[in-house]
Amino acid sequence: CLSKSVLCFSVSLLYCSFFLAGFCSAVCVEVPSETEAVQGTHMKLLCISCMKREEVTASTVVEWFYRPEGGKDEPIYEYRKTNHEFPSRFSGRLQWNGSKDMQDVSITVLNVTLNDSGIYTCNITREFEFEIHRPVFTSSRLIHLTVVEEAGEDFTSVISEIMMYILLVFLTLWLLIEMVYCYRKVSKAEEAAQENATDYLAIPSENKENCAVPVEE
């Protein structure tokens, strides 16, 4: 009984995992970038601009800008068939992390400093290559980055850990309930079998012979 329940639960989890994995892999999701970095670490500035399958044939230009607090936008990085890094405070610290299909046009800032806090702008310009015309579409992403000296306790990770422990406790209780239920069911079956055997032994010998089924020739 217990092994059957555990097997069903495992199969359900496996099915959901395959379903979600297949669904996520077939869809481009424009996930927002993280907005807090720790000094001395590498920070990926996530910029995703999804395209439909029929729009994949396109030339893409990506421009990254940085604006300090109270300052103006200054170009720091550009992708126009090739990568180009502009002279700035980020010189030698920018790394391209875009995908081949140019739906992910992210960059990574290496060895983040406290002076890297500010607003980062990701501009995407696409010229689609259709037979009749070549339309141009543009989009922008803003990332308000704050650099801290030490990593603080992430509220999301704390909630995730709490939910994980709650799930583990729930599954443990559920398994215990299943074990108790199965144990009681088996115990009742054994008690019933013992009672039947005791009742049979308590019957006199002559009654046992009368209870026997006559054999017809």
Residue 53, pLDDT score: 62
Q: How many domains does the chain have?
A: 1
Dig out the tokens for 93 from the structure: 């610290």
What is the extent of the structural domain holding 66?
28-152
For residue 126, being part of any structural domain is answered with: yes
| pLDDT (tens digit per residue) in 179-216 | 888 888 888 888 877 777 776 666 666 555 555 555 55
Predicted confidence at residue 4, as pLDDT, reads: 40
Tell whether 37 is covered by a domain. yes
What is the pLDDT, as a whole number, of residue 206?
A: 57
pLDDT value, residue 210: 56
CATH of the domain at 77: 2.60.40.10
Alpha-carbon distance values, 54 to 57, 116, 126, 129 (Å): 7, 38, 14, 10
φ and ψ of 169, to 5 deg: -65, -45
**Helix, strand, or coil here: 122?**
strand
Whether 58 is covered by a domain: the verdict is: yes
Question: Residue 23 domain-assigned?
Answer: no
Residue 206 lies in a domain: no
Q: What residues in the chain have per-residue pLDDT under 50?
A: 1-26, 217
Residue 95 belongs to a domain = yes
Per 3-state DSSP, the chain is made up of helix, strand and coil in percentages (nearest 5) of 40, 25, 35
Classify residue 75: in a domain, yes or no.
yes
| 97 domain-assigned | yes
0.85 exceeded by the pTM? Answer: no
